């Protein structure tokens, strides 16, 4: 896993991928930390758009932001409030055919209203540094991260979004309160229970989690009750 080998691998994938590539650094699960200088070099590839870093290391987030700030910028389509727009959002929706309804001797057509076109604008963005740690979301945003991809958001997306929105509104006090609310549940459910904990939390919060596949063991009744108690104030 020399820098040259890692650079060659990711460049080969990005050269051939029909979709943009986001690097993923999760040393907790993979015994390898993508070096900052390697990430900075890969940030110059036109098909590598960002990195999700789940190290939980704020110093590393700051270093990634600093090392990639000179990467080539690209023009993207966004909403009027600069939220991301996907290809699916832009795809034309097929108009529903008119339906003929017969009532007695009268025949009428039910007209269908076409959806309003999505208003968009463009924005120049650089390489996107994303945190994978809910416990350091606020601090990562303040360190220059563009956003986050969070396991905690699988079962409590609104709680995570509220941290981001409070930070974006420059309401530091509220952002800190929202951040503190997810600290202990995130550490226990995601960090310690792992996949089985996330799946049960999804079920509990109204999403589909299901059973964890082998070799992960199912949670026992006490563990499930603990997760439910941790999420008592974080329901969607």
54 and 133 housed in the same domain? yes
Residues 23 and 129 in one domain: yes
* 50: in domain: yes
Q: What was the pLDDT predicted at 94?
A: 43
- Answer whether residue 100 is part of any domain: no
pLDDT at 95: 45
Give which of 165, 164, 137, 167 is closest to 151, Cα–Cα. Answer: 137
Q: What is the DSSP string of 39-98?
A: HHHHTTSTTEEEEEE-S--HHHHHHHHHHHTTSPPEEEEE-TT--B--HHHHSPPPPPPP
Domain contains 193:
yes
Q: What pLDDT does 170 receive?
A: 96
Length of the chain, please?
236
Residue 135 and residue 50 share a domain: yes
Q: What pLDDT is attached to residue 100? A: 55
Strand ranges, E, within 70-219: 74-78, 99-103, 106-110, 121-125, 128-131, 147-148
Cα–Cα distance measured from residue 76 to residue 221, given in angstroms and rounded to the nearest whole number: 47
Looking at the DSSP bridge assignments, the partners of residue 134 are none
Is residue 108 in a domain? no
pLDDT at 112: 57
β-pairing, 121-125 vs 74-78, is antiparallel
Same domain, 130 and 231: no
Give pLDDT tens digits along the chain (236 positions). 899 999 999 999 999 999 999 999 999 888 899 999 999 999 999 999 999 999 999 999 999 999 999 999 999 899 988 888 888 888 876 444 555 555 555 555 555 556 678 889 999 999 999 999 999 999 999 999 999 999 999 999 999 999 999 999 999 999 999 999 999 999 999 999 999 999 999 999 999 999 999 999 999 999 999 999 999 989 76
Range of the domain at 195: 170-236
SS3 state at 129? strand
pLDDT of residue 21: 96
Identify the pLDDT of residue 96: 47
CATH number of the domain where residue 50 is located: 3.20.20.70
| Whether residue 141 is found in the same domain as residue 30 | yes
> Are residues 69 and 25 both part of a single domain?
yes
Q: Are residues 52 and 143 in the same domain?
A: yes
- Cα gap 150→70, rounded to integer Å: 26
Instruction: Please report the pLDDT score of residue 17 as a whole number.
Output: 97
Per-residue model confidence (pLDDT) at position 109: 56
How many domains does the chain divide into? 2
- Write down the pLDDT at residue 72: 93
Locate tokens 């008592």: which residue?
A: 232
Whether residues 175 and 141 fall in one domain: no
Residues 65 and 137 occupy one common structural domain: yes
- Same domain as 142, residue 79: yes
Nearest to 76 by CA among 27, 179, 146: 146
Q: Are residues 4 and 51 in the same domain?
A: yes
């Amino acid at each position: 896993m020399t820098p040259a080998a890692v650079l060659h691998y990711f460049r080969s994938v990005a050269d051939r991928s029909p979709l943009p590539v986001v690097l993923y650094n999760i040393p907790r699960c993979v015994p390898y930390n993508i070096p900052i200088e390697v990430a900075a070099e890969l940030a110059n590839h036109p098909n590598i758009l960002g990195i999700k870093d789940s190290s939980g290391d704020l110093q590393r987030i700051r270093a990634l932001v600093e090392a990639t700030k000179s990467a080539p910028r690209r023009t993207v389509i966004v909403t009027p409030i600069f939220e991301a727009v996907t290809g699916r959002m832009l795809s034309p929706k097929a108009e529903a055919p008119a339906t003929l309804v017969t009532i007695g001797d009268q025949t009428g057509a039910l007209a269908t209203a076409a959806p309003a076109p999505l208003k968009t604008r463009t924005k120049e963005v650089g390489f996107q540094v994303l945190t994978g740690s809910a416990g350091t979301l606020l601090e990562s945003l303040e360190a220059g991260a563009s956003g986050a991809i969070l396991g905690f958001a699988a079962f409590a997306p609104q709680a995570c979004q509220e941290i981001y929105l409070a930070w974006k509104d420059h309401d530091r006090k509220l952002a800190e309160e929202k951040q503190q609310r997810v600290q202990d549940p995130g550490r226990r459910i995601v960090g310690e229970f792992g996949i089985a904990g996330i799946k049960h939390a999804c079920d509990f919060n109204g999403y589909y989690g299901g059973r964890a596949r082998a070799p992960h063991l199912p949670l026992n009744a006490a563990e499930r009750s603990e997760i439910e108690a941790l999420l008592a104030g974080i329901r969607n």
